[in-house]
Structure 1
Amino acid sequence: MKLKAVTAVVAALTLAACGGEQPKEAPAGVPHGYVEGAEEAAEAQSRLIVADAETGAVRVVDLITEEVHETGRVDGVRALTSDGRFGYLTARDGTIRVIDSGAWMVDHGDHVHYYRAKVRDVGVAPGKQPSSVYSDPAVSALSYADGTTTLLDRAQLDKGSLAELGKITRDPHAGVAVPYGGHILASVADAGRPLARGVRVHDRQGKAVAEIPEPCPDLQGQAVTRRGVVFGCADGALLVTEKDGVFTGSKIPYPRDVTTQERATAFFHRPGAATLAARAGEMAVWFLDVGRRSWQYVETGPVAAVNAVGEGGSLLALTRDGTLRSFDGTGKEQAAIPLLAPEAARTDGVSIQVDTTRAYVNNPLSADVYEIDYNDNLRRARTLKVGGKAGHVVETGR
């Protein structure tokens, strides 16, 4: 996702349930992850939340039926992010509108549960101007530029209400907090510093309980993967993992010295996957393989949006001339197709959403969202008409 005011989010919901953060045991006959009013399905119930940047109209598009659900308006919507089920829209005045897409999954490693429910407007979340939003089955963490994080009760959110569990308060900086391993991983900064220097572990109520000893200077960017949580640092990436309640950090250094402009500051990936894409300045992309602990520098040309499809899969890049390109793990270009007009590719809000078989690229200047089969030479499989203009898009249910 290319977001103007909200750091890219990747959905922690589907990972946490198979990593020791499962919700309370469900009654007999009720599957894990079920909430009242939901229907379990045999396959992913993927949907798109789409916001029109001009009119503020919010729509949810069912990718199976192509039905479009009108879901109200957000005045002057400036950014949109998601935690895998809910969309968080930032309005002109900084308030955060929460939309339930009614589509989600719970991954238990050896099996997956898929659910669908009604689309609904949940309401306005506490705080303004979020810098990131992450969730697991127990808590949703909304972080703000003043260093605070509000922790919401996820069970109540699933039922359609917003209830606070606690707060994390730190020295002011553009912070981030990620639920992981039954705790919250939160950035920590020194007084007077605009960027974080490392990561601290908090309990579910926001109390600090441990600190990751490995430093992460000028922390910017994060991603939740099956292999742990990745944080972007000035000197590489910090991977935080958990085993038996013990959190450890390890560094994945850049293969060479990088400039401030070249370093990765926002990661994009398929939810759960451990290959990540990040801009490397204006003309190239970093391809980070967390499993192999390696970076690949890929010269793509002027970058508009990027994403990575997963282990062994390709890197996708939309360049500012409107061409969608795919690259293999070595950085070799595999395919390229003209997709958007240059003026559309250069518009804020253009993004590449990725699931296990398809990618979705929005045209911010029209009602079109293009479904791309990235395993078939970037074949355009469908053109979805979403109504209004597809200014901001996130995919849920994957």
Structure 2
Amino acid sequence: MRFRVAAASGILLLSLAGCAAPAAPSTTEPTSEGDGHGHIEGAQELAEPALHLTTVDEKGSVHHLDLLDEEDSVLADIDPVEEVVSDGRYLFGIRDGSVTVIDSGVWTWSHIDHFHYYEAPARVIGDVSGNGTPAVVTGEVGVGVRFDDEAVLLDTAALADGRIEETFRIAAEGDGVVVPLTSGAVLTDAGAGAEQPGTVRVVGNDGTASEELPCASASGTITTVVGVVIGCADGALLFAGGAPEAHERIPYPQATAPAATSFAAREGRPSVAALAGETGVWILDTRERAWTLVDVGEPLVHVAAVDDAEGRVLALTADGAVIVLAGGAVVSRTEPLVSASLADDEVAPHVRFVVDQNRAYLNGPLEQTMWEIDPADGARLSRVFETASTPLHLAGTGR
């Protein structure tokens, strides 16, 4: 991988907030931190997060770019995938008939008021198989995998031990996803065989349904610092704290815009963003239980919420430029960056943002380039990474 530096500015990394325990350990020696700090055997605790960009090319080569020293390494070679989903540590390579689970070996453990950062050897954990091309949804304690005729919930704790352990695998019909909660999950395919149409099913760890909740045309899900969100035709269903019993509705305001079907945001924040038709953006503040609709006035293809204080949202325009919204207005814009990728119908869906506390990243598969963007500084391109292969699928790891 070759690098072209667009400005003399490295990435600003999160500082390690202190615990009531002793000072942060060396970054070269394994720690013996007990349970509750995210430590596993063989991991070492770091003084700062080991932030990486992980990409998978069209051949299945998984590359790991260290954003601190800009070193690129091949993490693994797997069978080609159609999509990649990540929770900031694990990568799920999706293809017809299976999901390959990869441990990136870098992660952050949140203690709400401070964080712990770890690094361990990366590894391919294994595959989860089923019929059809699955949909994958990550959660704090589980990972939902939805095949054509089965719903599967994986145990995240087992993944840390290098094992694939299924909490449940049950028959399921229709299109939908498995959304993990703190216990059990929500199945959004309840229209097939449900007692009431336009509902979702809450199931326990054994896969047994406990209740059905109204949510017509369920589509899109994301986890915020407040809870788990599922998009519905008339608003959002929020499970506060991810608890199965703590569900409430956040209805749309009186607005004439299409419903949100996919959410994106910086991890660990309350606000998320979604497209609202061709030119609009929905912003959902899960802490305030409120929606805001912004009409940008030009076609958009992707959006992601960045921060709370300034209300910044990144948007990718149909011509491949990145714009920054704040307070409902466009405050900065780049030149078109990914025009070629967006012009290719097969490649365009894979162009996406990865958002950190201080930077955002955009991949251009056909441009064979990734950009580091500073949303708070006029969408400045702080670094540009040129790749030898096609960065078709992009994920952020170490978060």
Structure 2-normalised TM-score? 0.83
Q: Could you say which residue in structure 2 is the equivalent of 1:152?
A: 154
Q: Which whole-Å CA distance do the structure 2 matches of 1:179 and 1:108 have between them?
A: 20
Given that 1:126 and 1:150 are in contact with CA atoms closer than 8 Å, whether structure 2 keeps it comes out as: no
Q: Which whole-Å CA distance do the structure 2 matches of 1:386 and 1:327 have between them?
A: 29
Residue 241 of structure 1 deviates from its aligned partner by 1.9
- 1:263 matches 2:266: no
1:71-82 paired onto structure 2 within 5 Å: 71-82=75-86
Post-superposition CA distance 1:247-292 (Å, at most 9, x none): 232232243244xxx2211111111222111122233322222233
Q: Could you say which residue in structure 2 is the equivalent of 1:319?
A: 317
Q: Which whole-Å CA distance do the structure 2 matches of 1:28 and 1:81 have between them?
A: 29
Given that 1:134 and 1:177 are in contact with CA atoms closer than 8 Å, whether structure 2 keeps it comes out as: no
Q: Secondary structure at the match of 1:362?
A: strand
Q: Could you say which residue in structure 1 is the equivalent of 2:6?
A: none
Residue 314 of structure 1 deviates from its aligned partner by 0.7
Q: Which whole-Å CA distance do the structure 2 matches of 1:244 and 1:124 have between them?
A: 28
Post-superposition CA distance 1:93-150 (Å, at most 9, x none): 34212221111112121221111122222222233522222132x432222343x321
Q: Could you say which residue in structure 1 is the equivalent of 2:4?
A: none
Q: Could you say which residue in structure 2 is the equivalent of 1:208?
A: 209
1:176-255 paired onto structure 2 within 5 Å: 176-191=177-192, 197-212=198-213, 215-242=214-241, 246-255=245-254
Q: Secondary structure at the match of 1:121?
A: strand
1:370 to 1:333, Cα distance in 2 relative to 1, 3 A: same
- 1:345 matches 2:345: no
Residue 85 of structure 1 deviates from its aligned partner by 0.8
Q: Which whole-Å CA distance do the structure 2 matches of 1:264 and 1:378 have between them?
A: 25
2:48 counterpart (43, 46, 70): 43
Given that 1:235 and 1:253 are in contact with CA atoms closer than 8 Å, whether structure 2 keeps it comes out as: yes
Q: Which whole-Å CA distance do the structure 1 matches of 2:94 and 2:244 have between them?
A: 35
- 1:83 matches 2:90: no
Q: Which amino acid aligns with 1:73?
A: D
Q: Could you say which residue in structure 2 is the equivalent of 1:332?
A: 329
Q: Which whole-Å CA distance do the structure 2 matches of 1:115 and 1:386 have between them?
A: 27
Q: Which whole-Å CA distance do the structure 1 matches of 2:74 and 2:151 have between them?
A: 30
Residue 322 of structure 1 deviates from its aligned partner by 1.7
Residue 244 of structure 1 deviates from its aligned partner by 8.3
Q: Could you say which residue in structure 2 is the equivalent of 1:114?
A: 117
- 1:162 matches 2:168: no
Extract unaligned runs of 5+ from structure 2. 1-30
Q: Could you say which residue in structure 2 is the equivalent of 1:275?
A: 271
Post-superposition CA distance 1:300-351 (Å, at most 9, x none): 522232111132331101112121100013x201100114142223442111
Q: Could you say which residue in structure 2 is the equivalent of 1:22?
A: none
Which shifted more, 352-361 or 249-258? 249-258
Given that 1:300 and 1:317 are in contact with CA atoms closer than 8 Å, whether structure 2 keeps it comes out as: no
Residue 76 of structure 1 deviates from its aligned partner by 3.7
Q: Could you say which residue in structure 2 is the equivalent of 1:33?
A: 38
Extract unaligned runs of 5+ from structure 1. 1-25
Q: Could you say which residue in structure 2 is the equivalent of 1:358?
A: 359
Pairs aligned (count): 361
Q: Which whole-Å CA distance do the structure 1 matches of 2:197 and 2:113 have between them?
A: 37
- 1:126 matches 2:129: yes
Q: Which whole-Å CA distance do the structure 2 matches of 1:249 and 1:144 have between them?
A: 28
Q: Which whole-Å CA distance do the structure 2 matches of 1:139 and 1:397 have between them?
A: 18
Residue 220 of structure 1 deviates from its aligned partner by 0.5
Post-superposition CA distance 1:55-97 (Å, at most 9, x none): 3322122222222221333444211111221111123x34212
Q: Secondary structure at the match of 1:338?
A: coil
Given that 2:261 and 2:275 are in contact with CA atoms closer than 8 Å, whether structure 1 keeps it comes out as: yes
Q: Secondary structure at the match of 2:159?
A: helix
1:155 to 1:360, Cα distance in 2 relative to 1, 3 A: same
Q: Percent identity?
A: 35
2:306 counterpart (292, 296, 309): 309
1:57 counterpart (44, 52, 61): 61
Residue 364 of structure 1 deviates from its aligned partner by 0.8
Q: Which amino acid aligns with 1:107?
A: S
1:360 to 1:242, Cα distance in 2 relative to 1, 3 A: closer
Given that 1:373 and 1:379 are in contact with CA atoms closer than 8 Å, whether structure 2 keeps it comes out as: yes
1:324 to 1:182, Cα distance in 2 relative to 1, 3 A: same
